Amino acid sequence: MFNRMPSFGSSVRMLLNMPRIPSWRLGWAFFAGVWSIYLHPRYIGPLRKIPAAQVDWRTSLYRWLWTEPSPIQLLQWAKSIPNDGIIRYTSIGGTPTILLLSSEAIKEVLVTKHYSTFEKPLLARQRLGALSGYGLPASGGEAHKMQKRKLLPAFNFRIIKDLYPVYWTKAGELSSLLASRFHQEVAAGGKTLNIDVLEWSTKVTLDIIGIAAWGRDFNALRNPHDPFIQDYERPFKPNKGGIFMKNVALRLPISVILKLPTKTGRDLRTAMTAARIRCRQAIEEKKKLKPEELEKSKDILSVAMKSGAFDDMALVDQTMSILSAGHDTSSLSLTWGTFALCKHPDVQAKLRHEIRSMLPSPSAENEDAVDPALLESLPYLKAVTNEILRLYTPVPSVRREALQDTTICGHSVPAGTSVMFSPWVTNKLELHWGKNAEDFVPERWMEGDLANTGGAADAFAFSTFSQGPRNCIGQGFARAEFMALLAALVGRFEIQLEDPGYEPEPLFAITVRPAEGMRVKLRTDGLW
């Protein structure tokens, strides 16, 4: 139907295999590159009418050879290029990519035409599966539909409500441990407790997802030296080599990455092995339960086993996927949220006042005192939670691929076209959020007729948990967990950045994390 643009790689392979004089081959290869990267997409290809990012040839060559444009660059293009809902840019390897911006474009790709016309690319699913198991996030098509349908009972409101005591107890355990360390610092002559929030948030969310995923507390908060905890946490720690390895990972199969003699490769192998061993152990323990005991169990593994839809290998994959996705994104939300509150001490103080006025301290005797209705009744806590999730979405971008010739917003799109949807971008666009789109304003979720959507005209503007059939199955879980952790931390402590001028460098990969962690100073007055 449409003129398909040949990839640069296929053009080069074809031309270099021609029986030409060697000196001609280099010339043909150069022409193939210019044709694929510049001439065809700009003057001939079916995407040529879509507004495009214009960069100089040096930048184009660098991006073709080495890196993807970051969400920060995508946001700049989205703000500066006049468009009717989509723009295009050149991705790694000279791949033309469409970036979705308007609610109409997002709805068309992620909802209306999903499964039938647009799907998560096979290569992306293979990479994700190799890293964290071939569970729900790495599945596609009918397999994804079936898996999500079978797993949904583990994420209904009643199950999430029953987990509130777990969230609150673990939040209290975290705040009590930090308070104890603070008092030790004061006794030794210090004035504050200095910590890396990312390190502690990783531990507490790992404990929570362990209980929710298979009914087991990993006890990472109390026993951080456990071999499994150390092995599993290592890839999630700040790593200055992470940016380099991310770029390498875009060029090599994940099977090769995992075999590289690098720290990243070793850490990933160790973490995956440790997680698979624990998952298999948990499955064997569940098999030993009496039928009535398994029936009463409401953790995700038990629900998956009761569905009868998964064999042991698939159960391991599902549990690994939930374990990885469920704790990493939550820990990053708490980390970035802490940064936002440090940058806005007035918001932090107002939130602390509301928490102390309406919630009991998360001590052992109060572990059952906070139910969903009480936590949800705090309007400013809900507003701050939404604003953090909007501005600091833990998953910065999602890629789709056109399975057949189609259209987006009336523009012709050939099969095989790469489509990018970036919550990091849409959550900050003036198009959706007004002139203060990039400002931290929790009040947008409390004032006006559109308070339920933060002032946005429709629900597609808030894209943190994605949209459509592939939206986050655990978003209710993630929100409740985040609110409990944020309430316990802010209610107990005054939090400041260790370095007041610190601006964390976002490391964009599957998730977005501060490249060097998040160092803060804690101080408590003991009044809550």
**Residue 219: which region, alpha, beta or left (left: phi > 0; alpha: psi -120 to 50)?**
left
Q: Which two tokens stand for residue 455?
A: 């002032």
200 in Cβ contact with 217 (< 8 Å): no
| Cβ density class 459-497: b for 16+ within 10 Å, e for less | ebbbbbbbbbebebbbbbbbbbbbbbbbbbbbbbbbbbb
| Coil, strand or helix at 20 | coil
Q: Please check if 409 is assigned to a binding site.
A: no
What torsion do the CA atoms of 124, 126, 127, 132 make, to the nearest 10 degrees?
A: 120
Point out which residues pair with 52 in neighbouring strands. Answer: 88
Beta strands in 91-189 (DSSP E): 96-100, 118-119
Residue pointed to by tokens 């009868």 = 308
232 in Cβ contact with 271 (< 8 Å): yes
Closest CA to 174 of 500, 496, 490, 517: 490
Closest CA to 247 of 477, 464, 47, 69: 69
What SS3 string covers 59-73?
HHHHHHHCCCCCHHH
Residue pointed to by tokens 């950045």 = 497
339 in Cβ contact with 387 (< 8 Å): no
C-alpha distances in Å from residue 385, one per residue of 17, 178, 459, 487: 57, 22, 16, 10
Query: Can you tell me the distance from the alpha carbon of 182 to that of 140, in angstroms, rounded to the nearest whole number?
Result: 48
383 in Cβ contact with 340 (< 8 Å): no
Interior CA angle at 125 toward 385 and 463, to 5°?
25
Q: Which two tokens stand for residue 524?
A: 């408590």
Phi, psi of 494 (to 5 degrees): -90, 130
Number of C-beta neighbours around residue 324 at 10 A: 25
Closest CA to 355 of 495, 490, 446: 490
What torsion do the CA atoms of 469, 471, 474, 475 make, to the nearest 10 degrees?
A: -130
504 in Cβ contact with 339 (< 8 Å): yes
Closest CA to 148 of 348, 361, 296, 304: 304
Binding-site residue numbers are: 472
The binding site for heme consists of 472
